[in-house]
Amino acid sequence: MKIVWLYPVNQKCGISFYSQEYVHALADRIDLKVFDIDACCSHPKLTAAELNSCDCIHIQYEPSFFIKYGVKTFARLCSLLTKPVVVTLHEIYDEFPDVFPRSGISGPGCIRTIKEWLYDRRHPYQTSYTYDLQRNFFADRVLVHADVHRDTLIQKGVEAKKITVIPLPVTSLTTSANKPFMYNHTLHLASHGFLTRHYDYPLLFQVLDKLTVPWRFTWIGGIRRDEDASLPNELNSEIQAHSWNDAFTITGWVPVEERAELLNDTDIYLALLKVRSTSASLATAIGARRLIIATDLPYTRELARDAPILALSAPDCSSVIEKIQLLLSDESVRQTHLHEIEKYIDTVSYVKMAERVIAVYKDLIV
């Protein structure tokens, strides 16, 4: 069985990191070849010939990967493929966050047509995603990370038989559990990942302002997308306004080893997400065996559905502080969370999820 993986190779991108972990887990089990998506998009016809020499083609999908200089290349590439195609989707929403829905455009005849044309020019990623979704992503099998993602795709018209749920894998970052809580030390809170407006920073600042115990906070990560480039200045202005310069740190990009050390020094991880359909950063915190407080979203609710691997909070200051106080004061609650996290890490390791992905390949290859 010869499989090819398409993803952004060696990029500072969560999907790149995820793919590298999967490739490592799969390499000892199957004949695996890796292609960089950029190269495929630049020369789709030449690349397709090599891809079709394999038994199955697995594409890590994100619409921005397949738009180069305004040209959409995903449909063109897929039209050239003759072997079974597996597509993994990483972000799935009923409606795109912070973007007016195209279906809401109104107006008579030509006016509406002009509005839709302008919309497509202004929102190429969302428009491209919608086009590909309406065609089942040109895939024989679509892999998603949660039941809620599958349900959303089915509601959008994707064939149910084509969808397989395989949870987002977790990498074990450390063998040590949380350090014991010391009531005479400064509480270390942290979050991790690229700075993004999908995180509820106003809520974070409210929580930190209302905490009655000594604390320090570390954001482990930096900027990736151009549209978020102004965020560091905005956050630093808030930090200075609160006189938190010595307590609040934004590290910028850090290598994996340093990230693991910072997470290992964290008492409680705050995943105060406004909207997110998956989160590799949250998976990283689970792999680091941190106590986690997360805002109650469909994805986080599903993660906590069968076992308390994280504490869910309403998106308001008092609820988050209540969860922090509970974790600080109740040893049994802390141990329950850590015990369930340990089991979860073993259940959804990359090695075990790789076996499930291989089963998908076998099912498609005849």
Whether residue 201 sits in one domain with residue 65: no
Please indicate, yes or no, whether residues 99 and 121 belong to a single structural domain of this protein. yes
In this predicted structure, what is the pLDDT of residue 185? 79
Is 103 buried (19+), middle (13-18) or exposed (0-12) by CB count in 10 A? exposed
Q: Is 3 helix (H, G, I), strand (E, B) or coil?
A: strand
Token code pair at residue 292 = 């986690």
- Structural domain that includes position 210: 187-347
In a shared domain, residues 338 and 360: no
In a domain, 208, yes or no: yes
Same domain, 357 and 318: no
In a domain, 178, yes or no: no
Q: Is residue 18 part of a domain?
A: yes
What pLDDT is attached to residue 183? 53
User: CATH code at 277?
Assistant: 3.40.50.2000
**What whole-number distance in Å separates Cα of residue 218 and Cα of residue 261?**
12
My answer on whether 14 and 157 are in the same domain is yes
pLDDT at 172: 87
**Same domain, yes or no, for 80 and 228?**
no
- Give the pLDDT score at 303: 92
Same domain, 8 and 52: yes
pLDDT score of 184: 58
Q: What is the pLDDT of residues 251-296, one digit of tens each?
A: 988 888 888 889 999 999 999 999 887 788 899 999 999 999 999 9
Specify if 61 maps to a domain. yes
* 112 and 128 fall within a common domain: yes
Count of structural domains, the chain: 2
Buried b (16+ CB within 10 A) or exposed e, 304-342: beeebbbbbbeeebebbbebbeebbeeeebbeebeebbe
Same domain, 88 and 76: yes
**Averages of pLDDT over each 10 residues, the chain, 366 residues:** 92 87 94 89 81 95 83 88 96 77 77 77 81 94 96 94 96 64 77 89 96 94 75 90 94 86 93 86 92 95 92 96 94 93 94 96 92
Please give the pLDDT value at position 95. 75
116 in any annotated domain: yes
Quick one: 158 and 20 in the same domain?
yes
Q: 40 and 161, same structural domain?
A: yes
Report yes or no: 194 and 284 within 8 Å, Cβ to Cβ: no
In a domain, 96, yes or no: yes
Residue 178 is predicted with a pLDDT of 52
Rg (CA), the chain: 22
Q: Is residue 44 part of a domain?
A: yes
Same-domain pairing of 253 and 306: yes
Is there a contact between 76 and 41 (Cβ–Cβ < 8 Å)? Answer: no
The crossing angle, in degrees rounded to 10, of helices 280-287 and 331-347 is: 110
182 domain residue, yes or no: no
